[in-house]
Amino acid sequence: MFRTSSLALAAVFVASMASGQSIVAGVDFLATWDADSDGKVTLAEVAERRASLWALFDENGDGIWQAGDLKLIDEHIAAEAEAKAEIMKANDQVPGFVHGMGAGANGGTPGAGAGAGTVNISSLSNLDLYDTDKNGILTEAEWNAGAPIWFKIRDRNADGVLDMADFGPVL
Protein backbone atom coordinates (compact mmCIF):
# COMPACT_ATOMS: atom_id res chain seq x y z
CA MET A 1 0.00 0.00 0.00
CA PHE A 2 2.84 2.42 0.80
CA ARG A 3 4.43 2.00 -2.62
CA THR A 4 1.11 2.81 -4.27
CA SER A 5 0.65 5.97 -2.21
CA SER A 6 4.27 7.00 -2.80
CA LEU A 7 3.86 6.61 -6.52
CA ALA A 8 0.57 8.49 -6.38
CA LEU A 9 2.19 11.35 -4.46
CA ALA A 10 5.05 11.50 -6.96
CA ALA A 11 2.55 11.50 -9.85
CA VAL A 12 0.65 14.40 -8.28
CA PHE A 13 3.92 16.27 -7.84
CA VAL A 14 4.92 15.70 -11.47
CA ALA A 15 1.49 16.70 -12.74
CA SER A 16 1.48 19.87 -10.67
CA MET A 17 4.94 20.88 -11.89
CA ALA A 18 4.65 19.85 -15.54
CA SER A 19 2.98 23.10 -16.56
CA GLY A 20 6.27 24.57 -17.77
CA GLN A 21 7.03 26.46 -14.57
CA SER A 22 10.58 26.83 -13.37
CA ILE A 23 11.53 25.21 -10.10
CA VAL A 24 13.11 27.63 -7.66
CA ALA A 25 14.67 26.19 -4.54
CA GLY A 26 12.67 26.92 -1.45
CA VAL A 27 9.44 27.88 -3.18
CA ASP A 28 7.89 24.41 -3.01
CA PHE A 29 9.23 24.00 0.53
CA LEU A 30 7.61 27.25 1.66
CA ALA A 31 4.36 26.39 -0.13
CA THR A 32 4.18 23.16 1.85
CA TRP A 33 5.66 24.07 5.24
CA ASP A 34 4.74 27.77 5.70
CA ALA A 35 1.34 27.28 7.37
CA ASP A 36 0.57 30.99 7.79
CA SER A 37 1.98 32.03 4.37
CA ASP A 38 4.22 34.74 5.82
CA GLY A 39 7.27 33.71 3.78
CA LYS A 40 9.08 31.99 6.62
CA VAL A 41 8.81 28.70 8.45
CA THR A 42 9.10 28.71 12.22
CA LEU A 43 10.03 25.85 14.52
CA ALA A 44 6.34 25.59 15.51
CA GLU A 45 5.35 25.17 11.84
CA VAL A 46 8.06 22.52 11.43
CA ALA A 47 6.78 20.63 14.48
CA GLU A 48 3.21 20.72 13.13
CA ARG A 49 4.24 19.59 9.64
CA ARG A 50 6.46 16.80 10.94
CA ALA A 51 3.57 15.50 13.03
CA SER A 52 1.39 15.34 9.91
CA LEU A 53 4.16 13.53 8.03
CA TRP A 54 4.27 10.90 10.74
CA ALA A 55 0.61 10.16 10.16
CA LEU A 56 1.15 10.03 6.39
CA PHE A 57 4.00 7.53 6.49
CA ASP A 58 2.83 5.38 9.43
CA GLU A 59 0.41 3.57 7.16
CA ASN A 60 0.02 0.49 9.33
CA GLY A 61 -0.62 2.64 12.39
CA ASP A 62 1.79 0.75 14.61
CA GLY A 63 3.32 3.98 15.92
CA ILE A 64 6.88 3.08 14.98
CA TRP A 65 9.24 3.39 12.04
CA GLN A 66 11.99 0.85 11.53
CA ALA A 67 14.72 0.60 8.89
CA GLY A 68 12.34 -0.99 6.35
CA ASP A 69 9.78 1.80 6.78
CA LEU A 70 12.47 4.44 6.42
CA LYS A 71 13.79 2.81 3.25
CA LEU A 72 10.33 3.24 1.70
CA ILE A 73 10.31 6.91 2.73
CA ASP A 74 13.73 7.33 1.09
CA GLU A 75 12.36 5.74 -2.09
CA HIS A 76 9.50 8.25 -2.04
CA ILE A 77 11.93 11.16 -1.59
CA ALA A 78 14.12 9.84 -4.41
CA ALA A 79 11.09 9.55 -6.72
CA GLU A 80 10.17 13.17 -5.98
CA ALA A 81 13.75 14.32 -6.61
CA GLU A 82 13.87 12.41 -9.89
CA ALA A 83 10.57 13.92 -11.00
CA LYS A 84 11.81 17.41 -10.10
CA ALA A 85 15.04 16.85 -12.06
CA GLU A 86 13.06 15.76 -15.13
CA ILE A 87 10.89 18.86 -14.93
CA MET A 88 13.95 21.07 -14.57
CA LYS A 89 15.53 19.47 -17.65
CA ALA A 90 12.30 19.97 -19.61
CA ASN A 91 12.35 23.65 -18.65
CA ASP A 92 16.02 24.10 -19.58
CA GLN A 93 17.12 24.27 -15.97
CA VAL A 94 20.15 22.35 -14.78
CA PRO A 95 19.39 20.04 -11.85
CA GLY A 96 21.44 21.18 -8.89
CA PHE A 97 21.36 24.80 -10.02
CA VAL A 98 18.47 27.14 -9.50
CA HIS A 99 17.60 30.03 -11.73
CA GLY A 100 17.81 33.33 -9.93
CA MET A 101 18.96 32.00 -6.57
CA GLY A 102 22.18 33.10 -4.95
CA ALA A 103 25.24 34.88 -6.25
CA GLY A 104 27.24 33.11 -8.90
CA ALA A 105 30.70 33.63 -10.31
CA ASN A 106 29.49 36.30 -12.73
CA GLY A 107 28.27 38.70 -10.09
CA GLY A 108 24.97 37.18 -9.13
CA THR A 109 22.96 37.66 -12.28
CA PRO A 110 19.71 35.68 -12.57
CA GLY A 111 20.42 32.06 -13.21
CA ALA A 112 23.89 32.27 -11.76
CA GLY A 113 22.95 30.84 -8.40
CA ALA A 114 24.92 28.05 -6.86
CA GLY A 115 22.04 25.68 -6.28
CA ALA A 116 19.41 24.92 -3.79
CA GLY A 117 21.66 24.15 -0.86
CA THR A 118 19.29 21.33 0.03
CA VAL A 119 20.23 19.29 3.05
CA ASN A 120 20.00 15.66 2.02
CA ILE A 121 19.70 13.46 5.04
CA SER A 122 18.18 10.10 4.31
CA SER A 123 15.44 8.73 6.48
CA LEU A 124 17.77 5.90 7.46
CA SER A 125 20.19 8.53 8.77
CA ASN A 126 17.27 10.02 10.66
CA LEU A 127 16.90 6.76 12.53
CA ASP A 128 20.34 7.27 14.09
CA LEU A 129 19.77 11.00 14.51
CA TYR A 130 16.39 10.81 16.24
CA ASP A 131 16.36 7.34 17.85
CA THR A 132 17.25 8.66 21.29
CA ASP A 133 17.18 5.28 23.03
CA LYS A 134 19.19 3.67 20.17
CA ASN A 135 16.90 0.63 19.94
CA GLY A 136 16.62 0.76 16.13
CA ILE A 137 13.00 1.90 16.27
CA LEU A 138 11.82 5.46 15.78
CA THR A 139 8.71 6.28 17.78
CA GLU A 140 6.35 9.13 17.07
CA ALA A 141 7.52 10.84 20.26
CA GLU A 142 11.18 10.60 19.16
CA TRP A 143 10.27 11.90 15.69
CA ASN A 144 8.36 14.87 17.11
CA ALA A 145 11.08 15.61 19.66
CA GLY A 146 13.56 15.77 16.76
CA ALA A 147 11.94 18.85 15.21
CA PRO A 148 14.49 21.29 16.73
CA ILE A 149 17.38 19.18 15.38
CA TRP A 150 15.80 19.03 11.91
CA PHE A 151 15.16 22.78 12.03
CA LYS A 152 18.70 23.70 13.13
CA ILE A 153 20.26 21.62 10.33
CA ARG A 154 18.21 23.51 7.73
CA ASP A 155 18.44 27.02 9.23
CA ARG A 156 21.66 27.68 7.35
CA ASN A 157 21.93 31.34 8.34
CA ALA A 158 20.89 30.67 11.96
CA ASP A 159 18.27 33.44 12.00
CA GLY A 160 15.62 31.29 13.70
CA VAL A 161 13.38 30.88 10.63
CA LEU A 162 13.52 28.92 7.40
CA ASP A 163 13.03 31.20 4.41
CA MET A 164 14.39 31.74 0.92
CA ALA A 165 17.75 32.84 2.37
CA ASP A 166 18.27 29.28 3.61
CA PHE A 167 18.10 27.96 0.04
CA GLY A 168 20.87 30.06 -1.49
CA PRO A 169 24.38 28.99 -2.36
CA VAL A 170 26.40 26.91 0.04
CA LEU A 171 29.27 29.07 1.30
Q: What is the pLDDT of residues 20-48, one digit of tens each?
A: 445 567 888 898 899 999 999 999 999 99
Long-range contacts, 89-93 (Cβ 8 Å, 24+): 90/18, 90/20, 91/20, 91/21, 91/22, 91/23, 93/22, 93/23
The identity of residue 21, as a single letter, is: Q
Q: What is the pLDDT of residues 82-124, one digit of tens each?
A: 887 888 788 776 555 443 333 333 333 333 333 344 445 566 6
For the chain, count helices (H), then strands (E): 7, 2
Separation between Cα atoms, residue 113 and residue 52, nearest integer Å: 32
Sign, CA torsion 82/7/43/146 = negative
Backbone angles phi, psi at 77, to 5 degrees: -60, -40
pLDDT recorded at residue 43: 97
The identity of residue 52, as a single letter, is: S
The identity of residue 85, as a single letter, is: A
Kindly report the pTM of this predicted structure. Answer: 0.64
